[in-house]
Every structure is written in C-alpha cells, then in structure tokens.
Amino acid sequence: MKKQIDGRKRDRNSQETLRLQAIRRVKEGESVTDVMNSIGVSRTVYYSWLKDYKEKGIAGLKRKHGAGARPKVPPQYNQKIIEMIDKHDPRDYGYESALWTLQIVKELIFKNYSVDITQRSVCNLFSRLGLTVQKPLRRSYERDEKLVEEWKTKKYPKIVKMAKKRGAEIFFEDEAGFISDESLGRTWGKRGKTPVVKISGQRQKINAVSMVCPLGKFWFSTYTGRFNSALFISHLKMFLRSRRKPIILILDCHPVHKSKAVSEFVQELKGKLTIEFLPPYAPDLNPDEFVWKAAKDRVRKAPLAKNQSLDAFVTETLNQIKKDTRIQKSFFMAKSVRYSLS
C-alpha cells in the first residue's frame, strides 16, 4: 500500500499549490473527503481554506509568512532599552566599565524586567533595534554642550558674515606631536602567529602646527621644543607673510593662544589678523584635528625606513595634504563639524 504523504510536512510553496488544487477539485465535483485524503490533510481543514477563499478569493489561499518565534524580551521594553544604551553608559548603573557589553546588558535586562536571556539573544535584540558596535568618541566632563550648540548655530555663522563683509579668509589652527614609534595599524598574518614589522629602534619626535581654510587652503610648519608664545608668534608671522587678505583665525583655548603676548601681537597688526576661540573642551569642532588624523594614519601604516628622518616624513605627508584641496575640504564636512565652505 502506498504510504500517504502528510501535507503538513510539505514546504510552504507546495502547501499553497495544494490549497489551490483542493478548492478547484471540489468545485469540479470530487468529494471533500477524497480530495483531502489524497493530499494527506484532514478534511476539516478544507473548510477553513474554503472560508478564506470566499472572503479573500485566491489571495486567501496564498502562502503566509510565519510569525517566527516570539521575542524573549517583550516589545514594550524595546524603547526603554534603546534609551538605556543611547543616553547612558554602564557607569550610570553602578558598573566600572564605560563601555556596553552583551553581558552587562543581559544582567540589566534581568534586573529591570526579570527576563533571563543569553548574550546571543541580546545580540539578536540589538540587531532588531538598530543598535550596532561602534567606537565611541571621547567627551570631557567639563564640556558645555550649550556653548557648543551656540557656536554651531550662532557664533560661527556670525564669523562667516564678518569674513564676507571684510573680505577676510577663515582659517582653523591646531598643533600636534609625532613620534616615530606610533602604534601600528592592523595587518594580516597566519592565525596564532603575530606578524612582525621592522622599524627603527631610534625614537624620533617632531611637532607641527597647521592652519586649514574651508575654501581649500592649507599652511603648516614643523618645529622642535616646547610650544610657547614666542614660538606661536613666529609661526603667525610666517603664515601672514603670504596673505594679502585679512585673516580670521579660529583657535582652541590653549593657554598660549590666550596669552598676553599673543594678544598684544594681534593688536599691533591693526585688523590684519582677528582671533576667535572655539568652546572649551571641544576639539571635535576643529577641522584641523582631521589633518592630524590623516597624517598619523600614514605614520601608522608606513613606519620610518632605515635612516629616514621623521621630520622629512611628516613634512612630505603634510605637503601631500597641502596639494589636495579635495581632502582639505573634506575636513569641514565631518558630522561633528559641517562647516559652510563658502
């Protein structure tokens, strides 16, 4: 005797075909019992199909997508979990870590909602909620977000208007230090065997100051020794030599930038140079920070060759940036900045 096929074990596309055929065969005169026995489904199921067919037509017999397993964390908690991750860090809940981990979230979900889930389930939950692994930005406790927002919406737009009125150019300035043994970037190698990159054992150090303009203009100089008012003023003099238009220079709140000597030097220039200051503890508002990121990325990827000078290498790197107006303008388009290019 031929073994009857259980229609419930067929794939969904086949089940859809069976439903359509069953309705058609009964309409053509076959008995419900014979039709349903032939496809291995109880005859009572036919009447539920017939009801769907009468209410929705053929669409009522189409395959339906399974609802899937019920989520272990009830949906009413989803928004609270999003706010917990987005607006806080684990220290707000008594943990020492400032970074979210699956284990910490698992513990807090159990503590707050009495739902015990695995770390894998936490990962799946995050995927559904649109939460992803990201490298966080550093923010100082002393940072005043109101001043930051005021800078973006009021102060900088006023500086732009002032520059247009005076025919001046806007530049952002910053300083940075380079060392020859910067941490290397990542590379590929055999599993279990750490790759080796040969570098010079002699440690070199060089500092640099740069100024970048939204219109694609760039100036830099390297130096050794301590950064002080006299050194900064000498750099300002070198920078201004080739500038015909008045300059509005935007600086961070470094003590040297706000020193009495620098202020007196600016006053002596009688309007050729105007200095404006970024809000305290807001380096992300300075596009010149991206100059150093681009330059240091190259140092990490291409460590010094034997007998190579770090000063020459940094100078070459900054000269490449100077020649590329496209990359200079990109510094002003980062999400944290979004400065007008006109």
Q: Is residue 139 part of a domain?
A: no
Q: Which strand (E) or helix (H) includes residue 121?
A: helix 119-129
- Structure tokens, 105: 């979230």
Considering the domain architecture, whether residues 54 and 96 belong to the same structural domain is answered as no
Query: Range of 224's domain?
Result: 145-330
Are residues 154 and 104 part of one domain? no
Same domain, 227 and 173: yes
CA distance 342 to 338: 12
52 shares its domain with 87: no
Look at residue 136 and tell me if it is in a domain.
Answer: no
**CATH code of the domain in which 291 resides:** 3.30.420.10
Mean residue pLDDT across the chain: 85
Per-residue pLDDT averaged across 83-91, rounded? 90
**What confidence score (pLDDT) does residue 337 get?**
65
Of the pLDDT bands very low, low, confident and very high (cuts 50, 70, 90), residue 13 is low
Is the same domain home to 303 and 156?
yes
Residues 262 and 198 in one domain: yes
Whether this prediction's pTM lies above 0.85 is answered by no
Characterise 138 by phi-psi region: left (phi > 0), alpha (psi -120 to 50), beta (else): beta
154 and 299 part of one domain: yes
On whether both 244 and 273 belong to a single domain, the answer is: yes
Given a cut of 50, whether residue 1 has pLDDT beyond it is no
Greater pLDDT, 18 or 231: 231
Both 289 and 153 in one domain: the answer is: yes
Find, among 291, 279, 342, 331, the residue nearest to 152 by Cα: 279
What pLDDT does residue 336 have?
Answer: 62
Starting from the edge strand earliest in sequence, which strands make up the sheet with 205-213, in order?
A: 217-223, 205-213, 169-179, 247-251, 273-277
Same domain, 312 and 255: yes
Is 339 within the bounds of a domain? no
pLDDT of residue 19: 80
Q: How many residues does the chain have?
A: 342
Lowest mean pLDDT among 76-85, 167-176, 197-206: 197-206
Look at the chain and report how many structural domains it folds into.
3
What's residue 274's pLDDT?
96
